Structure 1
Amino acid sequence: MPRISEQDMARTRQRIVDAASPRLRADGIDGIGIAALMKGAGLTHGGFYNHFASKDALVVAVCEDAFAASLATLARTVDEANPDRPSLAQIVADYLSPEHRDQSDGGCPSAALVSDAGRHGPEIQAAYAQGVVGYLEGFDAAQQLEATERGETLDPEEARRRSIALLSEIVGAIVLARAIRLGDPDLSDEILTVNRQRHLEDRQSR
């Protein structure tokens, strides 16, 4: 039997993560088993433990991968070499959009996995927490750059408070909007619209 290379192992592992990510976000961590996740990746159940010690280990990998992709978008706000970099206001507007709300199997894991993370153990919560830290650091950096461009100085502690409030508010808004999207679509839209407008007005007042 030919020996499987480390590169092949890494590709297969990533294939499992890529296939599991939308399913875990849409169905929840407890809403789908290993067999179904492996079937979605086009692989057999028995091969799972060649790549992950447990389902929790897979969830950790999904969290890390999904947050990395999401944070890469946020990082563009402070890419001074990019003349077309989005503003923090644009990032927030995209986050609070109907398109993001309706993408239950994708989008930012901060909203998609928030309830599941709270119901699981320290390993999964630590991976989720690292994503939260990444968002807060990204918001801090974006606010500091915008303040500098305005010729202002922003106290780091104030930037931190604003970042925590911002993340809490946008995650809460998208979770609420998703929870009632089918039962009361008008209210779901209103939640997104009010939060988008409030954050835009808040930034314009600074």
Structure 2
Amino acid sequence: MGRVSQAQAQENRRRIVETASRLFREQGTHVSVADLMQAAGLTHGGFYKQFASKEALIDEATSHAFAELTQRYTALDQRTGQPDAAQQALIDAYLSVEHRDNPSDGCPVAALAGDMAREPGNHEAHRVYTQGVSDFADRLATHDQDGITRLCTMLGALVLARATKDSPLSEEILTAARTALTATP
């Protein structure tokens, strides 16, 4: 079998990183390389042509997930044009049934928290995750409310809503958190 071109190799790497980013958010970083490569539509052997280890892929996929988060909320800022409206749109999107039901396309803070708690602090993914949490908290801060508190409320509500997804309590949790975060003091 012939060698793939440099352009095809770059495309394969992009596809692997995007697939890993989605699968890790949906299923956790314990997803096997074989399952990941199958989901990307590539051979298992091709993985090691692109990455030195699964940890290297976790690092890159985590960075990719946080870049997507930043792009998504920057687009909200640009679309609304007003900080208060952007905050409201961000909260509404984050604490929505759609976000609850689609972790593979959702927030890496919520989806990867358990995995990152088990990662050694010296891994790049852990550093990227920590910086991503800090950046997201900064984005959530208002003149009246601390960003870390707002992030904890949103994250906790999302995790609990996902854990109780098949009950009425799930939507009640999302609604209560949205109300708490948007109530005028």
Amino acid at match of 2:152: S
| Aligned residue in 1 for 2:29 | 29
| Aligned residue in 2 for 1:92 | 91
Query: 2 CA distance for matches of 1:91 and 1:36?
Result: 33
Query: 2 CA distance for matches of 1:15 and 1:88?
Result: 32
Between the aligned residues of both structures, percent identity stands at: 36
CA contact (8 A) 1:71 1:138 kept: no
Query: 1 CA distance for matches of 2:180 and 2:4?
Result: 58
| Aligned residue in 2 for 1:198 | 180
Distance apart, 1:36 and its partner CA: 1.0
Distance apart, 1:3 and its partner CA: 6.2
| Aligned residue in 2 for 1:151 | none
Query: 1 CA distance for matches of 2:68 and 2:139?
Result: 13
SS in 1 for 2:36: helix
Distance apart, 1:10 and its partner CA: 2.0
Structure 2 stretches lacking a partner, 5+ long: none
Amino acid at match of 2:17: V
Pair 1:3–1:89, CA change in 2 (3 A): closer
| Aligned residue in 1 for 2:42 | 43
Query: 2 CA distance for matches of 1:25 and 1:188?
Result: 20
Query: 2 CA distance for matches of 1:103 and 1:117?
Result: 20
Query: 1 CA distance for matches of 2:159 and 2:73?
Result: 20
| Aligned residue in 1 for 2:69 | 70
Distance apart, 1:121 and its partner CA: 2.1
Amino acid at match of 1:172: G
Amino acid at match of 2:159: V
Query: 2 CA distance for matches of 1:100 and 1:3?
Result: 37
Pair 1:67–1:168, CA change in 2 (3 A): same
Query: 1 CA distance for matches of 2:147 and 2:157?
Result: 15
Query: 1 CA distance for matches of 2:19 and 2:75?
Result: 26
Structure 1 stretches lacking a partner, 5+ long: 144-153
Query: 1 CA distance for matches of 2:33 and 2:3?
Result: 26
Distance apart, 1:88 and its partner CA: 0.4
CA contact (8 A) 2:138 2:148 kept: no
Alpha-carbon RMSD across the aligned residues, in angstroms, is: 2.0
Which residue among 142, 155, 171 is the counterpart of 1:189? 171
Amino acid at match of 2:176: V
Alignment of 1:1-206 (within 5 A): 1=2, 4-5=5-6, 7-30=7-30, 32-76=31-75, 78-79=77-78, 86-122=85-121, 123=123, 124-140=125-141, 143=142, 154=143, 162-182=146-166, 185-201=167-183, 204-205=184-185
CA deviations 1:76-132 (Å, max 9, x no partner) are 4554xx565652011011101111111132211111111111112231211211211
Pair member with larger Rg: 1
After TM superposition, which residue ranges in structure 1, 4 or more long, deviate above 3 angstroms? Answer: 76-79, 82-86
Query: 1 CA distance for matches of 2:92 and 2:52?
Result: 39
